A and B are shown apart, each in its own frame.
Chain A
């Protein structure tokens, strides 16, 4: 009886420090944010807690009537729908290409594609702002050389979103490529040899051996990329501040602007909770799909 109890309690003591940190730095703030989202907390309430008013659901109701918020949801959906598949396809393709050889050229290319991911997003975004500069940027200068009119990379509301996606994909490819590459190197050579004997060509081998073997890494990359793109923030924050005409504003940036620029903490907390729920729902759907696949 006694040893039974100890057996049960000992594992918990080992995970307790981790749980404690998780609680202090993750769970408690989430609960506090949830509570704040039902209040009208602003800069006055920050200094004097007696001034904080409970406003029920009105922050949430107001959010869904706020054009800026709806627009930022739409923008975020575009980021996710365009960006996530693009990242997976591009990084998988590059990984397969790089995996096809072993000499120093392939090693160098691996480095070339990986470098963007170890650089700081803000620094990179500043450099890209120069590249995108309407009159002096590298891109427009090159376009002018071949006689194409300058493109307002960050100033044209129809193009700006795409410009940010290009940058974010360029940056995200490296790490995911590495994950795919690691998985690829775990696929047994014997499978390819057998397929070759059966007369399967390169494309068939890729489709029927490589892709199925990468199922788990594709799932992992999808979930992490999805979450990252839901929280799309750095690029628009540094490069466009959400403009022009709100066309690049993301939900995360909307939350930041309301919280830290306008000091509407209650409203910003409500916005961040909407984002939180969206991410959780998207991840649960992913997991369900994955389970279904595994069951088949």
Chain B
């Protein structure tokens, strides 16, 4: 009898412990109506002011969680696997394919079709394409970025050019002259750490990367464009590896690297850190290759989490953030360029340097929207590395990379 009592007590206390352990997680979901918004980057300066206005107008409170880009993907993966995450979130355009395939994003087609602000025609088509999978919409384009050529006006002038290079051959010509300025002086930066860099040049040369599920990475156009890029490196017009220089060291002063290609995020960095006068540098549309000067569109979309318990309000916030005036405020706070075409007429975007981006956006496409894209990009960098460092055979490297990628896509 005594034994039974103790056993009951024991089992009971264990049960209580177990309930305590499992119970911790379950009681918070239902209670409140606060929306959770995951933002990659500094949400306090970028979106907080807009969110505050939203809360004031609708009475819906929103909690912003700012997560650094470097950890954002890990965080989203955890949410996707546990089915427990934010209500609304920022999605990098290159992450879209992944999280659509994991069924983590709510199909918002019905809102997109019935709402004036969300109408796909309002947005840049290269951005809009990153929200549409299998005919359904899973996100709304929020901000857009594209790559342009940054160059030092004064230094190009000193070697006899009063304008930015307009074609590939001119780019090489200018770079060669710039590299002759002295030891450790280069003309142009061939970026060996950016996966889209080589693909971007390949497309300018007329290459198709993937057509109907068939990889084309060893085409003569692709290989030709990489040979062109490699000639910069092997002839000393571009550094072989990332020199780990700050922008002031590479682009300011005598500018060892007076030309490079990058996105809009470099504008404020150069203004603040390079120590240059506004007249000393400029941006220009990319030099034209054999067929085009096509740039790479990137950016961020807004999506609603499939397992959110607060979908209606999340969609409300989505619509609110997509309004023209809020896209403009967001641009002012964060320098992220609006995806809404109509926002570009605002005086805040009148700046000549920004308008270069606007023109480049007419010739800009996103990378193929494949769920394996991240891995393909990393594999490409690995394939490119021996070319840049050891001048190994490009055709062979691309044959191998092409085969590897085909297997990856077929899997």
The digit string for B370-411, where 1 denotes a CB below 8 A from any CB of A, is 011011001000100110010000000000000000000001
Instruction: Give Cα A13–Cα B103 distance, bound, in whole angstroms.
Output: 43
Cβ-defined contact, A47 with B102, below 8 A: yes
A44 to B372, CA, bound (A): 11
A16 contacts the other chain (CB 8 A): yes
A2, B6: Cα distance in complex, Å: 12
The one of A42, A244, A261 that contacts B73, using a Cβ cutoff of 8 Å: A261
Which residue of A135, A243, A246, A263 contacts B98 across the interface (Cβ within 8 Å)?
A263
Q: A6, A40, A152, A257: which contacts B378 (Cβ < 8 A)?
A: A257
Which residue on chain B has the smallest CB distance to residue A2?
A: B3
Q: Does B249 contact A (CB under 8 A)?
A: yes
- B interface SS class: helix
- Chain A residues closer than 8 Å to B103, beta-carbon distance: 47-48
Question: Quick one: which of B43-80 are within 8 Å of A by CB?
Answer: 73-74, 77, 80
Cβ-defined contact, A135 with B371, below 8 A: no
Task: Knowing A261-B375, A262-B374, say if A44 contacts B102 (CB, 8 Å).
Answer: yes
The reply to whether B245 and A135 contact each other, CB–CB distance below 8 Å, is: yes
The answer to whether the Cβ of A101 comes within 8 Å of any Cβ in the partner chain is no
Cα-based distance from A129 to B245 in the complex (angstroms): 12
Distance between Cα atoms of A135 and B242 in the complex (Å): 11
Report the nearest A residue to B381, measured CB to CB: A243
Number of interface residues of A (CB under 8 A): 35
Q: Interface readout for A28-48 with B: 1 if CB under 8 Å, 0 if not?
A: 000000000000101110111
Chain A, interface SS category: helix
Residues of chain A lying within 8 A (CB to CB) of residue B382: 68, 246
CA distance A46 to B99 in the complex (A): 10
Quick one: which of B10, B244, B375 contacts A133, CB cutoff 8 A?
A: B244
Check: B119 CB closer than 8 A to any chain A CB.
Answer: no
B residues near A48, Cβ cutoff 8 Å? 102-103
Q: With an 8 A cutoff between CB atoms, is B14 at the interface? A: yes
Do B17 and A47 touch (CB < 8 A)?
Answer: no
A47 engages B3 (CB within 8 Å):
no
The reply on B269 being an interface residue by CB < 8 A is no
> Within 8 Å of chain B (Cβ to Cβ): is A286?
no
Nearest first, the 7 closest Cβ-Cβ pairs linking A and B are: A47-B102, A47-B103, A262-B375, A44-B101, A43-B102, A46-B102, A46-B81
Binding site for A on B (CB under 8 A): 2-3, 6, 10, 14, 17-18, 21, 73-74, 77, 80-81, 98-99, 101-104, 184, 241-245, 249, 306, 371-372, 374-375, 378, 382, 385-386, 389, 411
In the complex, besides A46-B77, A261-B375, 8 extra interface pairs with C-beta distance below 8 angstroms are: A20-B17, A24-B21, A47-B101, A155-B241, A245-B389, A260-B73, A260-B77, A264-B375
